[in-house]
Amino acid sequence: LQAGNYQKYDEYGLWDFVRKRKAEGLIRHIGFSFHAGPELLDELLSAHPEVEFVQLQINYADWENPDVTARANYEVARKHGVPITIMEPVKGGALANPIPQVRDILQAANPDASLASWAIRYAASLEGVITVLSGMSTLEQVDDNLSYMRDFKPLDKNERTAIEAAQRAIAEVESIPCTACHYCTGGCPMSIPIPEIFAARNRQLVWNQGERAQREYEKVVEAEGAGRASSCIECGQCEVACPQQIPVITWLKDCAEAFE
């Protein structure tokens, strides 16, 4: 469920549908994957006490990320006593190959542990978590994953300290503090997908994922009617609308240089 579709679950009777199928024994547990902020999650879990689990995007890099709101969503689920399954614990693979500052901190804390293991164990150590979904694409990754999840031990105090240091190192990397609220986009005369462009640029700045960022940039600016970063006419509408006071025009010039 997300901001743009949750009304359809009422409109098309989907909540009733799953309740009925559960009563028939065809569904064992009712839950949903969630992609929005804590206010909507609170609203949904209050309206639907039949929900038995919720799937959230949680990893140590996104814990305080205003775009993902991992901590806030986790706290809402805990407040409602709803068990959690975690998706994206390794942030789409980014935490298996993190920025050098993070790699150095984690390897100094334990040179034998894989970088992915820190991310998965962080997620699995949170209270109330029943499952951590881990994407694996090689046999080595399966072996690595099993080595610490088969006889799971939560992060200890020293390991949590290392993760906190890694989180601080990530926060110190210069990035665009866009929360993807979209307040800037409706009035843009050039229909520039500002938050999506900024998300692609942040992928470059924070995660060194240049190729993937370029693909994401091309995808959003090639959508029908969308403007490119370089099509900005500097009218200033977006900067007035932005609650984060982001110098959008300057950053779009930076994005144009990086991607075009």
Q: Of the candidates 79, 98, 84, 103, which has an alpha carbon nearest to the alpha carbon of residue 34?
A: 84
Minimum CB separation of residue 57 from ligand SF4 in Å reads 18
Please give the Cα distance from 41 to 84 (Å, whole number): 13
The answer to whether residue 183 forms part of the interface with ligand SF4 (CB under 6 A) is: yes
Q: Within the chain, what is the greatest distance between any pair of CA atoms? A: 59
- Count Cα atoms within 13 angstroms, Cβ side, for 241: 19
Question: Which residue(s) pair with 62 in the sheet?
Answer: none
Number of residues that bind ligand SF4 (CB under 6 A): 27
Site string for ligand SF4, 208-247 (x = CB under 6 A): ------------------------xxxxxxx--xx-x-x-
**Which ranges of 80-172 does DSSP label H, i.e. alpha helix?**
100-109, 115-125, 139-149, 157-172
Question: In the block, which residue shows the tokens 């068990």?
Answer: 83
Q: CB of 98: closest distance to ligand SF4 in angstroms?
A: 24
Among 181, 220, 226, 258, binds ligand SF4 (CB under 6 A): 181
**From candidates 195, 201, 203, 213, binder to ligand SF4 by CB under 6 A:** 195
Of 128, 189, 210, 247, the residue at the interface with ligand SF4 (CB under 6 A) is 189
**Shortest distance, CB of residue 239 to ligand SF4, whole angstroms?**
7
Our finding on whether 197 is near ligand SF4 (CB under 6 A) is no
Torsion sign across C-alpha atoms 119, 120, 122, 126: positive
CA distance 73 to 63: 10
What's CA 196's distance to the chain center, in Å? 14
- By CB under 6 A, name the one of 30, 113, 190, 220 that touches ligand SF4: 190
Tell me the window of 33-41, 70-78, 95-103, 191-199 that interacts with ligand SF4 (CB under 6 A): 191-199
Q: Which residue has 């999840």 as its token pair?
A: 149
Q: What is d(CA 146, CA 159) in angstroms, rounded to the nearest whole number?
A: 19
- 188, 200, 205, 213: which one contacts ligand SF4 (CB under 6 A)? 188
Beta bridge partners of 53: 31
Q: How far apart are CA 91 and CA 26, in angstroms?
A: 33
Closest CB 185 distance from ligand SF4, rounded Å: 6
Query: Of 84, 106, 166, 248, which one interacts with ligand SF4 (CB under 6 A)?
Result: 248
* Residue numbers 66-125 binding ligand SF4 by CB under 6 A: none
- Interacting residues with ligand SF4 (CB under 6 A): 178-184, 188-190, 192, 194-195, 232-238, 241-242, 244, 246, 248-249, 252
